[in-house]
Amino acid sequence: MLIERNALLGFKAGLKDPTNRLSSWVGDDCCTWEGVACDNPTGHVVNLDLQNPHQFSDTGDLLQYNKWSLGGELRPSLLGLKHLNYLDLSMNNFGGLRIPEFVGSFRQLKYLNLSRAGLGGLIPPQLGNLSSLQYLDLYNKPYFTFPDHEFSIDNALWISHLSSLQYLHMGNVKFREGAHWLQALNMLHSIVAVRLPFCGINTIPLSLPHVNFTSLYVLDLYGNFIHSPMMPGWLFNISSLEHLDLSFNDIRGIIPPAINNLASLKFLDLSVNPSLEGKIPAALGGLCKMQHLGLSAINISKNLHELDEVFTGCIKNSLDNLYMGVNQLSGYLPDWLGDFRMLKSLYLSGNSISGSLPASIGRLAGLAELGLSGNSLEGVMSEEHFANFTKLNILDLSDNQLILNLSSDWIPPFQLQRLAIGSCKLGPQFPAWLRTQENISYLDLSSNEISSTLPDWFWKSFSQHISYLDISSNGIAGSVPDLTSLINISMLNLSSNYFEGPLPNFNSSIMMLVDLSNNSFSGVIHPSIGKSMPQLQYLSLSTNNLSGKIPLSICQPNFQVLDLSKNHLLGELPDCWNHSSSIMVMDFSSNNLSGSIPPLICPFPYLNSLHLSNNNLSGKLPLSLRSCVFLGTLDLGQNAFIGTIPTWIGESLWFLSILRLRSNKLVGNIPPNLSRLSFLQILDLANNNLSGTIPSSFGNFTTMKVLQGTNEDISNYPYYNENLQVTMKGRDNEFSRFLLLVIAMDLSGNNLSGKIPEELANLLGLVSLNLSGNYLVGEITEKIGALRQLQSLDLSRNNLYGGIPSSMIALTFLSYLNLSYNNLSGRIPLGNQLQTFTDPSIYAGNSGLCGFPLAQKCKDDKTNQGPNAVGGDEQNDTAMDEEGSEIEWLYMSMGLGFAVGLWAVFGPLLFNRKWREAYFRLIDQVYDMVYVALAVTFNRFKERNAAT
């Protein structure tokens, strides 16, 4: 006994115990110590349980968890416990310490739990010596606020020596290539549960000579991204299997009918195997013990009624949870859904299901979770639909066309924890029945046409439980009270309403996102706003009536997105960013800020987007900006910056995709090395005093040379949409979500001279080119016809001469053209889009031009169109026929040009999904051509027909 007591004290001496959890480890009787248990007959120490009493989760209290975590070192004095059969050190933090090899010496150990203990490194194969071990848990899944210390395993064959093993959990332990994991498991005759999620196992044998683990009832291979041409055949020989999780992998082919062999199966999840396809076998419906079925995101692409044979089998009598989201399912909700009387969770979100909710769904009296978001459901939902849902706690109907017709005095039969009905039609009055929902922690009422004020009870009713609140994009008016009582809230979105008055006060240690943009809040930003929300990552106060200075507390270390744009803020930019180590987006544009850019605005290199446009900032562009090496957007337009454009922009800011310096006081030549910015898609240097020539190297912008934009998103932050003003087609346009489609170069309003470099014709992806208001000379190159994506071209107010190139007929996307006030001459080419430009002012100030749409006729027009007097009536008739044919050809060519232009729009839209989805959202900003309006009409008509 003395040996075991000293072994424990020696072990304790190596531990860090900040809360003195082991304060009871004194005295002679170690069997009474905290976490220690002894065998009654012998008195030997058999159990050592030092698990953290404050187990942490993503919503838990990290401070308490860390406070109660043990750390330090694991000393071999523990080997003095010769009779130890239970060891639990889980949920602590040993700072990446490796599992000591001596752990493999506890020959009597039956239970070993080292999960989430902050251990890492290579797992010692000496663990294979634990021949008595029945339970092994090395689960290493980190939480997003918890350090990740990677576990790895070189060769799993040592697992085969654990001959008594029944339970194995090695989640997030990285199995290196050739780890022989399946061969090792197949040698364990006693194994009943294997959990290997997120282990980096990317292959799985399709066959085994003999299946030995015939007692296996749990197999979890979730999240390994296994590449397999089919589901392995040996799986269907394990008749004892009750739990099979193959979700988040890359298994292909079909679900084989042999699935019926697994008659004991209660849990099956094949979700997010995008290449699993084909008909779901009817045999699946014959698994009479099935309780959980996950088939989300597996490319079913079926009408729901084609699944009648599957879901009318005996599976309907046992199924608790059904997940079939994101599967391109179509048709109406079938009546057989009402036959799943045991169903507790039903998720069909992200499909193309249409029609109204059938009355049969009301028969699901045991339903606790209903997710139908992101479909095309329509019609009215009344109180009758919910009458039997007494157990409902999660309801997600968002992004449908449903109308919720619920009376103000309705008392629901349920108590919801989560309600998401964004983009439905709930208004105009705020739903009074929400007052009865005392446990709501997640509430999304965005885009619901609510136009009333918030009732007095609203903030008080939800103050204790609410963690996520989104009532954005409504017409809600009134003021917002003090919100310091919302102590559990982490995300708040009140944007795009009519709230007014001062900003609310906050006091939340877990608040991560606040969006109050697009309202009418006024007054100053509270001086302690950053300190009152120390975990805040996203703050948007954009587009309000805020005034005063920007408080210094705004520079807090966790901020990732800070948007204060479009207010009336004044003073200088804060110079306190040396602690803002996480900042990715800063937007202070459209205020009244003055002074210079702070020298420490980028002390850390992670800044991705910097918007300072439309202020009164001055001085030179600071050299410190060259440290922002990951900067994607630099928008300094509409200020009073002076000096030259620094060459370090092209040398250091390699990831720049937007450079906007327009409307400043910049002078000098344009640095040719800007062309080294291979990701640049918008270059706007307009309205400065730049001189010299346009660098020929500008034909080398890599992204501008690509026919379609390849960047998926300008900003990497999930809640932030880059917003930028782009001058295009003669007006200022605001682009946001689909800014990635805009590829533009604007050098207008400067003192540039020389010829337009022919190399610009290499920029095949250009959508807008504006070189107007300079002193450019020479002819317009015939190569300009290669810019097939061009929608806007402005070369006006220069000294260009020669003819308009006939190749411009090929610019079938072109919807804005201005060549006025140059020295151009000759016939204006006709054909395709050029014939749709009927405004003669776009050619004004070019006295040598002639032809449509100018009144000035070309000389050969008069010769060809005049009657031929010599030749009598027959010749006159022939001449009239030729004139008629020419007029007919004129109309035909106009029609052909229109058709070609129309197809140039429809072609990419029909065959390129990315452009199709994005382009129609940009229609409102490019409405000036008829073919665009027709495209919108056709698309909407097509979508309505597809929905019905």
Q: What is the mean pLDDT of residues 771-784?
A: 97
Q: Calculate helix-pair angle for 872-911, 930-947, nearest 10 degrees.
A: 50
Contacts of residue 213, Cβ cutoff 8 Å, sequence gap at least 6: 185, 186, 188, 189, 191, 194, 238
Q: Please report where in the chains the tokens 């906050």 appear, as a residue.
A: 506
- Could you give the residue ranges of the DSSP H alpha helices within 348-504? 383-386, 457-461
Residues 220, 223, 229: CA angle, nearest 5 degrees = 90
Query: Does residue 909 have a pLDDT over 60?
Result: no
Buried b (16+ CB within 10 A) or exposed e, 527-550: eebbebbeebbbbbbbbbebeeeb
What is the C-alpha to C-alpha distance for residues 71 and 291, in angstroms, rounded to an integer?
41
Q: What is the mean pLDDT of residues 778-784?
A: 96
What is the C-alpha to C-alpha distance for residues 80 and 859, in angstroms, rounded to an integer?
110
Q: Which of 48-57, 163-172, 348-357, 439-448 has the lowest mean pLDDT?
A: 48-57
Q: Which of 195, 239, 7 is nearest to 106 (CA)?
A: 7
Name all domains of the chain by residue range, CATH numbers in brackets. 1-201 (3.80.10.10)
What is the C-alpha to C-alpha distance for residues 73 and 15, in angstroms, rounded to an integer?
6
- In this prediction, residue 907 carries a pLDDT of 37
- In this prediction, residue 365 carries a pLDDT of 93
- In this prediction, residue 155 carries a pLDDT of 86
Secondary structure of 874-906 in HEC code, one letter for each residue: HHHHHHHHHHHHHHHHHHHHHHHHHHHHHHHHH
Q: Which of 395, 401, 396 is nearest to 415 (CA)?
A: 395
Higher pLDDT, 939 or 173: 173
The dihedrals phi and psi of 167, each to the nearest 5 degrees, come to: -125, 130
Which residue type is seen at 810?
A
Q: Going by DSSP bridges, is the β-strand pair 513-515/491-493 parallel, antiparallel, or unpaired? A: parallel
Q: What is the mean pLDDT of residues 842-865?
A: 84
What is the C-alpha to C-alpha distance for residues 571 and 598, in angstroms, rounded to an integer?
12
The percent of the chain in helix, strand and coil, each rounded to the nearest 5, is 25, 20, 55
**pLDDT one-digit tens code per residue, 111-130:** 999 998 989 999 999 999 99
Residue 818 near residue 796, CB atoms below 8 Å: yes
What is the C-alpha to C-alpha distance for residues 310 and 320, in angstroms, rounded to an integer?
16
Query: Does residue 679 have a pLDDT over 50?
Result: yes
Residue 366 structure tokens = 């045991």
The three-state secondary structure class of 49 is: strand
Contacts of residue 937, Cβ cutoff 8 Å, sequence gap at least 6: none
What is the C-alpha to C-alpha distance for residues 645 and 289, in angstroms, rounded to an integer?
71
Query: Does residue 863 have a pLDDT over 50?
Result: no
- Could you give the residue ranges of the DSSP H alpha helices within 469-564? 529-532
- In this prediction, residue 666 carries a pLDDT of 98
| Averaged pLDDT score across all residues of the chain | 86
- In this prediction, residue 408 carries a pLDDT of 84
Residue 822 structure tokens = 């140059």
Q: Which of 187, 184, 167, 166 is nearest to 175 (CA)?
A: 184
Band of residue 53 on the pLDDT scale cut at 50, 70, 90:
confident
- Quick one: 352 exposed, middle or buried, by C-beta within 10 A (0-12, 13-18, 19+)? middle
Q: What is the mean pLDDT of residues 148-173?
A: 91
Q: Which of 301-310, 625-634, 723-732, 858-867 has the lowest mean pLDDT?
A: 858-867
- In this prediction, residue 151 carries a pLDDT of 86
Q: What is the mean pLDDT of residues 237-254?
A: 95
- In this prediction, residue 147 carries a pLDDT of 52
**pLDDT one-digit tens code per residue, 494-535:** 999 999 999 999 988 889 999 999 999 999 999 999 889 988
**pLDDT one-digit tens code per residue, 376-432:** 999 999 998 999 999 999 999 999 999 999 888 899 999 999 999 999 998 899 999
